Structure 1
Amino acid sequence: MTTRIRFSCLALCKHPARAAVMDHAAKTRTGLAAALLTYLIWGFLPLYFRELHHVPSVELVAWRIIFTLPLCLLFLFARGQWHELGAALRTPRLMVQLSLSAVLVAMNWLIYIFAINAGHVLAASLGYFINPLVNVLLGTLVLKETLNRLQWSAVGIAAFGIALLLGGPLDMMVVALSLATSFGLYGLVRKLAPVGAVTGQAIESLVLYVPAVLAALWFATQGQGSSILDGPGTAALLFGAGVLTAVPLALFAMAARSLDLSTLGFIQFLSPTIVFVLGLAVYHEPLDSVRLACFVLIWIAIGVFSADMVLRARGTKG
């Protein structure tokens, strides 16, 4: 057995190109598994947060922040990245960027949890279907990126789909656009901030930590008291909210380093698809003709957008 392993190692050393291909394939498999697990977790989050429907949305976000910070610090310690955290904390411009991204992600979490617990699961799904198109639009408006005809077509189709909601369920439009815009702006700020994913999340949690603790203390002084004292089940679920924030982020960072952006772009639609199915099959939310037409147009826009990604990826490889 030892001789066979040694022979394999020698063979790979003699063929570095083959070794590089095998290494790339292994990284791709790892990245694909990490991406799938990330978006599966994010997709099924409504089921988790519905179990905490008795916890006020602001308090739930506060506990989510409180429990996320130590897990992020643990990740940094395990990966030996304390120096990166220290360097970021000593960079004023970066701290301003991450403070802004912290506010945006907190807003996104709050809107998402409120939407789920208020029975707007389909609206939350629509928001994250729209998000990639919002990212493209922000790239054009802020980063001066250029859109080709297919990309403009996708944005136009999506805009028409959203406009349909003006004559119908406005609450769905408000929730969806709020989620898509807040997460799109968050992604833009993080794209411009030169910091790793976990380090950035740790600093965002640090920025939000004091307000989160104050919010948790405020709820503790109210009539119903702190939700974390409702029993071991609720306490465990609140701690788990921190785990379900930090762990997918670490997995996503791993996937982003290992996969092509086009591949990652396809997989990201898994999450809102799961949320959409949950909204219909589990929570039995109504899907009238206006909502259905809006979703159909968004899906067409996503199809156009995805086709453009495939064409550009093939052109790059060619």
Structure 2
Amino acid sequence: YFINPLVSVLLGVIFLQERLRPLQWVPVVLAAAGVTYLTVSMGKLPWIALVLAFSFGLYGLMKKITPLGSLQGLTLETAAVFLPALIYLIIEQVRGVGAFVNAGVSTTLLLAVTGVVTVIPLIFFSAGTKLIPLTTVGLLQYITPTTQFLLGVFVFKEAFSSNQVVGFVIIWTALILFTVENLRHNRPVRARLAVSTASSSSQVKN
């Protein structure tokens, strides 16, 4: 999840010709440094994380360029994986290792609710990728792993190392810089739009 945002930024720059302003490169480089630090502190190459990052990054790219709406696209995706997923679940149930139904009422209900919990964010993600640059989507995706980290530490009381703290501080510094740069850049644009709107309104009244 920490590598995926950088992949999204990279895909946006390469395939969509999205240009980062000079000051936007600073948080991108900082975020990359934070991810690199966390990776090195692990002591091994995170192959699974790399596969997930590039697969979901490509998923975001496809969402960006596809002409389908968010709901239509998600419906098509669900239809494509429905049959293989159903076959897999049936096999697991026949083997007696499937959790659905066999693990009790509460677990079954939770598994059913995960469908809704998954679909809603995906719909918003699909809609969001069409409204803002993929590079911005990428950096915003750091919110997810950070939230997971906070939940793990403060809710589930999981242990965390000083290396993780350093990595998170670097990444969140990058996010703050990126947000501040965007606000500073868009302030004149919003001001011009406000003036233009006011001028148009006065002309209509006249």
Q: Name the TM-score, length of structure 2 as normaliser.
A: 0.74
User: Does the CA-based 8 Å contact 2:153-2:159 persist in structure 1?
Assistant: yes
1:160 matched to 2:33? yes
Tell me if 1:207 matches 2:103. Answer: no
Structure 2 unaligned spans of 5+: 193-206
Q: Please list every run of 5 or more consecutive structure 1 residues that lacks an aligned counterpart in the other structure.
A: 1-126
Amino acid across the alignment from 2:100: I
User: Aligned-pair distance for 1:240?
Assistant: 0.8
Match of 2:99 in 1: 227
1:188 aligned partner, one-letter code = L
Cα deviation code 1:76-100 (max 9, x no counterpart): xxxxxxxxxxxxxxxxxxxxxxxxx
Quick one: distance in 1 between partners of 2:10 and 2:30?
Answer: 13
Out of 45, 54, 59, the position equivalent to 1:181 is 54
What is the percentage of aligned positions where both structures have the same residue?
35
* CA offset digits 1:151-173 (Å, max 9, x no partner): 22112111211221343225795
Conserved? CA contact 1:198–1:249, under 8 Å: no
User: What is the rounded CA distance, in whole Å, between the counterparts of 1:205 and 1:232 in structure 2?
Assistant: 25
In 2, Cα distance between the equivalents of 1:138 and 1:316? 26
Structure-2 separation of matches of 1:172 and 1:293: 19
Superposed CA deviations along residues 100-128 of structure 1, whole A, max 9, x for unmatched, are xxxxxxxxxxxxxxxxxxxxxxxxxxx26
- Residues 290-309 of structure 1 aligned to structure 2 (within 5 Å): 290-309=163-182
Matched, 1:275 2:143: no
* CA 1:314–1:307: 2 relative to 1, 3 Å: same
2:118 to 239, 242, 245: 245
Partners in 1 of 2:97 and 2:10 — Cα distance? 44
CA contact (8 A) 1:150 1:308 kept: yes
For the 8 Å contact 1:165–1:294, the answer to whether it is kept is yes
Deviations 1:207-231 (A, max 9, x none): 0011101111221232x33322213
Asked whether the equivalents of residues 146 and 168 of structure 2 are also in contact (C-alpha less than 8 Å), the reply is: no
- TM-score normalised by L of structure 1: 0.50
2-side partners of 1:143 and 1:211: how far apart?
Answer: 32
RMSD, matched Cα: 3.2
Counterpart for residue 136 of structure 1: 9
